[in-house]
Amino acid sequence: MADNRFHVVDVFAQEQYAGNQLAVVHDTASMAGDEMLEITRETNFSEATFIDSPETRDGGYDVRIFDPAEEIPFAGHPTLGTAFVIREFVRDDSPDELTLNLGVGQIPVHVERDEDGNELFWMNQVPPTFGETVPHSLAAKVLGLEASDVDDAFPVQIVSTGLPTLVVPLRSLGAVRRAETNHEPYYEEFIEPYGGHNVVLFAPEAEDENDIHARVFADYAGIPEDPATGSSNGCLAAWLVEHEYFDTSEIDVRVEQGYEMGRPSLLHLRASKADDVIDVEVGGRVIPVAEGRLL
């Protein structure tokens, strides 16, 4: 009989009640997709995940990811948060490496420790694909910015490592902070012709010792802004090395997100390009918040 335990965790958080929240439900093989969707809506987080069984299949754990609108094949903070829950509350041996079977395929996750001894969970994302470029003027209009705010030295482009994201390079931290979704052109001139995608906008200015300040909008999915988004930042990492934004095809950077929402988050990105193949890793801390059992 399924026990339907659940845990709530903060992913990409430096402390509790920061980062991006996630609800993870255990042992859900007998649960229908419609019920999973309703639970996701009830928890009112951006996503929730459902671990099919405490047993592995083909070396990985079957996991389904839902946002409030639908089941999705991949998302970053649900992957890392679910790996944390499996390691801490499903497994007895707390392995430093495990694999999740997601809609996009098998995603390996491993644990490293930072200089302060904190555990960082890292995932290897699927190889990126690069899609259409979007006019800089349209990106500015969609984000309620001036055309001069968008860095025209680099393309505004759709990138996917499992969940497509429009990457928008801005010139300044001020422009990042002023941005907001301009709904009419967003839906009529971006969503309709290009499809429903996250939008990650960033500038190479940040607080403390971080390298980039980013924000992620996903209005099409009912998420006006996300505090920490591993999938979109994985797309950003791939874009950075593809276009040699830092004059290099290999990066190891710290990205801050969620500051405008009062949930400051930190994401670690590593990516490299060799022989036209791009490897992307996204990492961060996971902090437990609550646990319980579904009624």
What does pLDDT average to in each consecutive run of 10 residues of the chain (295 residues)?
82 94 92 92 86 96 93 94 97 95 95 93 95 97 97 97 94 97 93 91 93 94 88 97 97 97 96 96 96 89
CB neighbour class for 53 (10 Å; exposed up to 12, middle 13-18, buried from 19): middle
Distance separating alpha carbons of residues 39 and 104, to the nearest angstrom:
22
Distance separating alpha carbons of residues 113 and 126, to the nearest angstrom:
23
Yes or no: say if 123 and 63 are a contact pair by the CB < 8 Å rule. no
Sign of CA dihedral 19, 25, 26, 29: negative
Instruction: Tell me the residue length of the chain.
Output: 295
* CATH 3.10.310.10 boundaries in the chain: 5-116+285-293, 129-284
The pLDDT, as a whole number, for residue 2 is: 58
Distance separating alpha carbons of residues 179 and 63, to the nearest angstrom:
34
CB atoms within 10 A of CB 194: 15
Yes or no: say if 73 and 44 are a contact pair by the CB < 8 Å rule. no
The pLDDT, as a whole number, for residue 1 is: 42
The pLDDT, as a whole number, for residue 13 is: 95
pTM recorded for the entire structure? 0.92
The topology (CATH level 3) of 5-116+285-293 is Diaminopimelate Epimerase; Chain A, domain 1 (3.10.310)
Residue ranges of alpha helices (H) inside 62-144 are 76-85, 136-142
> Angle between the 76-85 and 230-242 helix axes, to the nearest 10 degrees?
120
Give φ, ψ of 130 to 5 degrees.
Answer: -115, 125
Cα 124 to chain center, whole Å?
Answer: 12
CATH 3.50.50.60 fits 129-284, yes or no: no
**Rg for the chain, CA atoms, rounded:** 18
279's enclosing H/E stretch is strand 277-284
Distance separating alpha carbons of residues 267 and 289, to the nearest angstrom:
19
